[in-house]
Each structure stands twice: as structure tokens, then as C-alpha cells.
Structure 1
């Protein structure tokens, strides 16, 4: 198996799992969704991120799920970048969304071409 793919999947899935958990622990996470004017969507975004993180891990053993999860997370992060642009956040603040959009697109590319 491709070790680069495994490393990217582990990194991304653990990061999304950690982010999802922090939503329930830290009030700052909920405030971010309020700042984006997306208060009602926060829980749905977090559920999609948790499903995506789990899907990446299971997808290491079932390629269609890896493709679906990585594409879904890349699209979710694309909309995260658009939200950051809409709220006029700096490039530095937008960097994590950009990074995770690209890493999940890269996971999709690696999985699709294996």
C-alpha cells in the first residue's frame, strides 16, 4: 500500500476528528459558526466532518469510501474557504481550510490512481 496515502489519511482523519471533538468542548468553535452567520449549520458541518474522518480510515480498506470521503471533505473545505473569503478573513486565518482542501483532494487523487 502507498505509505504517502496512509500518512495523509491518518493526518487528515485525526485532524478532522480532533476538530469535531473540540466543537463540543470549546465554546469558541460555536462562536466561529455564529461569526460566519452559519449558527444553525454548525452541527451539520461537524457531523459531515466526523463521517468524513471515519470514512477516510475505513476507506483505507474500501476504496470507494475513501474516494467519497476525501472528495466530500475537499468540497466541504472549499466551502470553508469561500466562507473565509466572504467574511474577509486574512490568508493566514484561511490557511487551514486551504490546506485541508488540498490534502483531501490529494488523497482523492492518490486513491483514484492506485
Structure 2
């Protein structure tokens, strides 16, 4: 299997783009943090630490406390691929995160984005 360049990109380099995308649509950094912590199990301090340490996306997900058990409910198309059909587990997690950020930016209700979780 081909190793994707995105795996080695730092989470810190991608995170500001997520925030900017949300803010451009009237949402907040807190909204982005909420969906990322929901997906990964990081708390705010852990998320801040991953940004400060500039760890790769691979390390980000390898070190994540626990992928949310409802992550499998994230479906749809992102970057031309159906997230539920992505075979590489790491790429699927990255695309789950991308999909959540897109949903925040599109203005979906947070309960819907978090798949019914509070």
C-alpha cells in the first residue's frame, strides 16, 4: 500500500485551516475543537499539546485516547471519496475529521454532527 504524504504532515499545520474554514462561515474555533475532541477522545489540554508538539497526523491518531465509537456513523463524500469505503484505517480517520469540519462549516447542528451525542 502506498504511503500518503498527508500522514507525515503535522496536525498543527492543518488545524489553522480547519479553524479558518469554520470562522469564514460564522462558526468558531471552539466548534472545531469540539468535533475533533469528540472524534479522537483528546481533551482540550491534549489537543493543545498535539498542536504545540507539531506531531504528524499519523502520531495524532496513534496517540488519540480513543476514536469515538460513533465514528462509523460518519458517512458521505469528502475529497471525492466516500468515507465509509476508505480502506486505509488512518486515511479513513483523517477523512472523518475532514468531514466533521466540513459539516461545521456548512452550519449543521452540532447534535447532528456529533451523531446524536451531546
Tell me if both proteins adopt one fold, taking TM over 0.5 as the criterion.
Answer: no
TM-score by length of 2: 0.33
Query: Larger relative CO (CA 8 A, sep 6+): 1 or 2?
Result: 2
- Per residue, is there more helix in 1 or in 2? 1
TM-score by length of 1: 0.33
